[in-house]
Amino acid sequence: MATELEKALFEEELQAVRGLPEASRWQIERDDAVPLGLFAVVHPIAEPAELYRARIRWTDYFGPFSLKFINLATGLDNDPSAWPQCFGFRPGCLDVCLPWTAEGQALHPEWRTSVTQAFPKVEVPMQFALLQLQFSMDNTYQGRGHR
């Protein structure tokens, strides 16, 4: 359950991230289904026509976030072809198995006590989530997932 402070910080960051230099490449909207969630349409820097709609949700705003990709046309969240193929991204499993995602941390509980795989201390969770996603797409993108 999100605290009032988490909600307030979320609202503050929702405005702040729009001022990031990268924000001109994003279409951000709130995910009204949850208290702490958003949608962001993103693309790899080298392939601006390849659009992906990311759904980012937090249960703990300062913890790992859930990252899923939504089919832009249908809105479905179970389509591997709506996912980018990047390092650690697994379209076939519909998850991102990396230390910064809730899905990765759930699959690897041993990461919580690992110096290298524990979720870092984050002062700006939304900025962290969006930029981590963007860096993955800009540096490790290998195409669209397959059905």
**Residues near another protein, by CB under 8 A:** 3, 5-6, 9, 22, 45, 61-62, 98-99, 110, 113-117, 120-124, 127-128, 131-132, 134-135, 138-139
Of the two residues 61 and 69, which places its CB atom closer to another protein in the complex? Answer: 61
Q: SS3 of 84, please?
A: strand
Of the two residues 81 and 87, which places its CB atom closer to another protein in the complex? Answer: 87
Least separation in angstroms between CB 17 and another protein: 11
**Cα-based torsion angle of the residue sequence 108, 35, 62, 122 in order, rounded to the nearest 10 degrees:** 110
Of the two residues 22 and 31, which places its CB atom closer to another protein in the complex? Answer: 22
Least separation in angstroms between CB 1 and another protein: 12
Longest dimension (CA), the chain: 41
Of the two residues 39 and 128, which places its CB atom closer to another protein in the complex? Answer: 128
Task: Could you list the beta-strand ranges (E) of the chain.
Answer: 27-30, 37-42, 52-57, 66-70, 89-90, 95-96
Can you read off the two tokens belonging to residue 97?
């198995």
